Structures are given as structure tokens and as C-alpha cells.
Amino acid sequence: MTCVIRLLEEIRRTAHYIKKKGKTIGFVPTMGYFHEGHLSLFRRARKEADVVIVSLYVNPAQFAPQEDFKKYPRNFKRDLELAQGEKVDYLFCPTDKEMYPQPFSTFVSNESLSSVLEGKSRPAHFRGVLTILAKLFHLIEPDVAYFGQKDYQQALIIQKMIKELNFNLKIKVLPTVREKDGLAMSSRNLYLTPSERNRARTLFSALQQGRDMVSSGIRNSTEIFKKVKSCLRRTPGIKLDYLEMVDPETLEKIKEVHKRALLVGAIWVGKTRLIDNLWV
């Protein structure tokens, strides 16, 4: 039975009690509308930790005013059932009033990795993510927190925060879970109309094409992207935000691939923005 907790003081007391009994906490922070990607994180936490806590909170601080905060999919009943199915022990669903008591003025930000890729398109995004996670990590004091590889830049920035601000927990990043045609699972896929859904896999195809070119011995990213981007641009209804080959530690663009690199991309399909990445 999954126990729902809404109050900060209650989750703090519960987590404290669990730790005092010598048990480990596996924590999965989410914004809800669970899909197989979330469930894979719950399952891993269930396998590895004594107690599994999932937070469900659509964090206003990580959305810019023109973004999709209001329409972000929410279905508490469905999420609770799915959490129950995965034997999640606690579902923590705080309120805005408690999370961001007004006036709220303290934020956590990363000064080096959050101005590129996602951060360039969504300038205040990672500040919002780090701030909410710093709060959740303080309240829950997990041993391990689980994230998906789809949000690679997010996971990297979180790892930096853990290290540089001396949080006492481990971060585990699990592989992206995909639909049958390769589209990375995301709560935002729900926004897609059937015809947009058909076109959405273009991003994964572009990344695959880039990866295949690297595997076939082409090392120069300009050469790779010329072909891959022209393919993307030919798909109607798709707008390319960015497609880059980056160093997985620094997120700096790579001109010639000679070691493990990451292909990262973001596209607009109609009004929906999708991201994905692949190792090369």
C-alpha cells in the first residue's frame, strides 16, 4: 500500500524515522503522469533500497512564464495506482504553498553547465530543477536518487550539485525507455496529435543516423550534421532547436570525435518540445 504524504513536516519525520531504523531510502523525484520510464526507476529503487519514496510535484520554478506549466499532464489517481503497482512505499505530493512560501528568494544554480543546450533554450530551467531537488534531498535524505538518461544534462548538473555542495547521496542514471518506434518516453508525448506522434520519432532517427555515421568512421561533426540536419529539415511540421555532439563531462561541442561523446538534440513538433540523446 502506497502512503500519500502532502506535508513537509510529515515527510521529514517519516524519512528521519526510516533512517533511524537503519533502513536505506531510494528516492525518485518526478513531476507525475508516470510512464514506463518512471516505472523503470521505481523498479530499480525497489530492488536496491529498503524504502522507496517518490515525489510527485510539478515544479513551477523550472518553467518559464510562456512554457507549459499550466497544461503539464496531471492525473493523481492514475499515478497513485501505478505507484501502488510498483510497490512504492511513499508518494510525496507537496503543495506550492509549502514548497515556495512567498516571498521566496533562495535558489541554487550551476554557473557553468546550465547555459548551453537545454539551458540556452530554457534559461531559468536548471535553477528551478536544482532548487527543488536541493529542498527534496534535504527533506528526504535519500541514500540514492534515480534519474533517466533522456534528461542527460539535468542528471549531469545534479551530479555536480551533489559533489560541489556536499550532499550525502548517490545519483544513478538509468537508460532511456523508448516506445517501439524509438521515441523516448516522456509525459509530454501526451500533447502530440496522431500525425505529430508519427513525426516525433524523427529526432531519434536523426540521432541514430549521426551515430551510424560515427560508427562507419566519419569523425567530423560538421560533415555529420550537414546530412542529419538536412534530413530533419525536410520533415514537415518539425522545427529543429539544436542538434550537437558534445563532451559528456563539459557539454562542450566536439568537432572531431575521438572518444566517447554524446549526441544531443531538441526539436519542436508543433507546439511540443522534445529532447533526446544517444551515446556515440
| Binding positions for ligand PAF, rule: CB under 6 A | 29-31, 59, 62, 129, 132-133, 151, 154
What is the smallest separation between the CB atom of 167 and ligand PAF, expressed in angstroms?
Answer: 14
- Between 36 and 256, CB nearer to ligand PAF: 36
Question: Which residues lie across from 276 on neighbouring strands?
Answer: 265
DSSP single-letter state for residue 114: S
Contact residues for 40 (Cβ-Cβ < 8 A; gap 6+): 148, 174, 175, 177
Cell triple for 213: 555515421
What is the smallest separation between the CB atom of 219 and ligand PAF, expressed in angstroms?
Answer: 33
What is the smallest separation between the CB atom of 37 and ligand PAF, expressed in angstroms?
Answer: 10
What is the smallest separation between the CB atom of 258 and ligand PAF, expressed in angstroms?
Answer: 31
Give the Cα separation of 45 and 146 in Å (integer). 7
DSSP single-letter state for residue 58: -
Which is catalytic among the residues 38, 125, 138, 258? 38
- Between 86 and 151, CB nearer to ligand PAF: 151
What is the smallest separation between the CB atom of 205 and ligand PAF, expressed in angstroms?
Answer: 24
Cell triple for 26: 531510494
- Between 35 and 229, CB nearer to ligand PAF: 35
- Between 14 and 187, CB nearer to ligand PAF: 187
- Between 213 and 251, CB nearer to ligand PAF: 251
Q: Is 35 a catalytic residue?
A: no
Give the Cα separation of 214 and 226 in Å (integer). 13
Under a CB-based contact definition with an 8 Å cutoff, are residues 149 and 173 in contact?
A: yes
- Between 109 and 205, CB nearer to ligand PAF: 109
Cell triple for 141: 535524505
What is the smallest separation between the CB atom of 229 and ligand PAF, expressed in angstroms?
Answer: 27
**DSSP class per residue in 64-77:** -TTSSTTTS---HH
From residue 34, alpha-carbon distances to 40, 115, 117, 166, 252 in Å are 10, 28, 25, 30, 32
Give the Cα separation of 161 and 155 in Å (integer). 10
Instruction: Show which residues are catalytic.
Output: 38
